[in-house]
Amino acid sequence: MFPELQNLLSPERHQFTLITDWKTDGSFLVHHFLSHYLKSHYKVCFVALAQSFSHYSLIAQKLGVSLINARDQGQLVFLEGLKSYTSLLFSDTPEAESQNPLRFLRTSSDLQPLYDFVYAALTPSAGEEWKCSVLIVDDVGLLISLGVTTLQILDFIHYCRASVCCELQGDLVCLVRRDEEDEDSELLARSLCHQSGLILQAEGLSTGFCKDVHGQLTITHKKQNRSAIYQYKIQDKSVSFFAPGLSTAVL
C-alpha cells in the first residue's frame, strides 16, 4: 500500500470507490487498494480482467504482500479473467464451462454467473475471522469489448454494491478506463460515478510527459461534497503526492 495516498482518502466504510483514468495508467491505485485490504486482514475477491495473477503478485510483493500466501490461506479469492476467458473459448467439456464465472460471454446473457461467484467468495464461512469483505474489479470496462452491454455491467455493479456494501457491510473498488472517443466507456464511467461514494480520477498532464510529475489525481468525496487535486510521481515502491505546481520540476 501507499501510506501517503491512504492518508488522503476518506476513512468511511461500506462504500463504492470508483477509479477512472484518462491519458494515463491508474492501475497503481488498484495495487494500493489490493495491498491495503490484505494487510488490514480483509477478505478480498479480486476480479482481474486486465492482467494475469503473476503480474499482480509481482507488484504486491514489492508492496510487502504475498498474493500466493493470501490465496492459499483463503483470504484472497482471485478470478483470473484472461485465463477463464481462454478456457471458455477452447473448452469442450460442458461441466467445465458450467463452472466458469464468465460463461455468460457465450450466451450473451446477464452477468448472474459472475455475481454468484463474487457472492459465494465473500459470504462468510464457518471459522473465518476476516475483518470484512471487499470486492475489487480491474478493469470492468473490458467487458464491453467482449460483447457485454453497458446496461448489463451497470446492473452487475448495482447488485454487487447492494450485496457487498449493504448486506455484507464491506467495500467495493472498481476501475474503468475513460476514452472520449468511445461512447460506451464514457457512458459507463459517467453512470458509475452516480453510484459511487468516492471517486479517484487519474489523468495525464495537459502539458505532456514530465519525468518529475507523472499525472494528476482528483479525489472526490461525494458524501462530504468536496474535492481535492494532487499531482503525483510514481516510484519503485511508493507514490509521492503534492499540490499542483509544487514539484521539483518547477522549483
What is the residue extent of each domain of the chain? 25-198
| Max CA distance (Å), the chain | 63
Identify the band that residue 216 occupies on the pLDDT scale cut at 50, 70 and 90. Answer: very high
Query: DSSP letter at 23?
Result: S
Reference 18, options 215, 226, 203, 171; nearest CA is: 171
Residue 5, pLDDT above cutoff 80: yes
Find the mean pLDDT for residues 231-235. 87
Residue 225: other Cβ atoms inside 10 A: 7
Question: What tens digit of pLDDT does each residue of 54-69 get?
Answer: 999 999 999 999 999 9
Looking at residue 74, its pLDDT comes to 92
**Alpha-carbon distance 17 to 172, whole Å?**
6
CATH architecture of 25-198: 3-Layer(aba) Sandwich (3.40)
The per-residue pLDDT of the chain, averaged, comes to: 87
Question: What tens digit of pLDDT does each residue of 186-195 get?
Answer: 999 999 999 9
Helix ranges, the chain (H): 3-8, 27-39, 53-62, 67-72, 81-90, 94-98, 104-107, 112-122, 142-145, 150-160, 183-195
User: Among residues of the chain, what percentage have pLDDT more than 90?
Assistant: 56
Q: pTM of the entire structure?
A: 0.91
Query: DSSP letter at 243?
Result: -
User: Could you tell me the three cell numbers for 180?
Assistant: 472520449
**Alpha-carbon distance 187 to 215, whole Å?**
23
181 dihedral zone (left: phi>0; alpha: psi -120 to 50; beta): alpha
User: Among residues of the chain, what percentage have pLDDT more than 70?
Assistant: 90
Q: What is the dihedral of CA 138, 139, 140, 144, to 10 degrees?
A: -150
The answer to whether the CB of 231 falls within 8 A of the CB of 242 is yes
**Alpha-carbon distance 79 to 114, whole Å?**
10
Concatenated DSSP letters for 56-112?
HHHHHHHTT--HHHHHHTTSEEEEEHHHHHHHHHH---HHHHHT-TTTHHHHT--SH
The answer to whether the CB of 1 falls within 8 A of the CB of 32 is yes
